[in-house]
Amino acid sequence: MLGKIMNTNWTGFLTLIDREFYRFMRLSRQTIFPPLITTVLFILIFGYSLGTKIHEIHGFSYILYIFPGLLQMGVINNAYANSSTSLFMSRFERSIENMLVAPLTPFQLVTSYMMGALLRGLVVAIAIYVASLPFVSIPVAHPFLILASLVFSSLFFGGLGIVCGLWSESWDKIALYTNFVLTPLTYLGGVFYSLEMLPPFWHKVSLINPIFYSVDLIRYGFLGHSDASPVFSLSLLFLLAIGVYLWCFILFRRGYKLIK
């Protein structure tokens, strides 16, 4: 095993990661600035308008309470979009064939796409945080949990983006998964409300939504308050990230729909 690691084509592997990073940074007007502007608009519209009606949730102003969820929402959407669009574009343009004939392993291919999703998620998170500082004073209760939440969420949803990029046969299907699966789960994930504010049925539904635990964990990281156990949320996100990574690895190893 150690011999395989030492003989890994690190130059090609790092080049793939650099390509993913360069791709979304070069298109920053499409990849970085839109979620930044959207989050600021959410803060202005929801935070200041609804904030006059909902004064506090668990002792925090409404604008402060929703900020961690807004940041995580931007991270989730962009990590997912990065891997799904990048992989589908490679399949659609058949440029993925160049990677498949290169001396690169399924481990390297999957990891490069996952790292691209992670890097884009972190860049978006930093941009949103900095842009929000003029509007809200943001405490940081547990910085390690904030970072862990961002990393595991980016990896998990980046992995789901890889699966979507393999399954999809057209851009319409990419949009279908985003609009009818990811977006509803995001808005039902506790970004704008506390779990205690929901009726019993929707309370139970939220508990099977992985985005809820992602949002709840990062909220605990910033504010020190959560609706679920932070240990459980962290463990769940870690296991989901590992699980989806193994899923993607198996699909790549089998060559599942890599060539469109």
Beta carbons of 80 and 158 less than 8 angstroms apart: yes
Q: Are strands 56-57 and 60-61 parallel, antiparallel or unpaired?
A: antiparallel
Beta carbons of 85 and 165 less than 8 angstroms apart: yes
Predicted pLDDT at 52: 65
Predicted pLDDT at 8: 64
Give the amino acid at 185: L
Predicted pLDDT at 57: 87
pTM for the model stands at: 0.92
Predicted pLDDT at 224: 95
Per-residue pLDDT of the chain (260 residues), as tens digits, is 444 444 567 888 899 999 999 999 998 988 999 999 999 888 888 777 766 677 788 889 888 999 999 999 999 999 999 999 999 999 988 888 888 888 889 999 999 999 999 999 999 999 999 999 998 889 999 999 999 999 999 999 999 999 999 999 888 888 888 888 898 999 889 998 888 888 888 888 889 999 999 999 999 999 999 999 999 999 999 999 999 999 999 999 999 988 86
**In the chain, where are the structural domains located?**
28-254
Predicted pLDDT at 139: 92
Torsion, Cα of 145, 149, 155, 160 (10° steps): 160
Burial class (CB in 10 A: 0-12, 13-18, 19+), 68: buried
| List of E strands, the chain | 56-57, 60-61
Predicted pLDDT at 79: 96
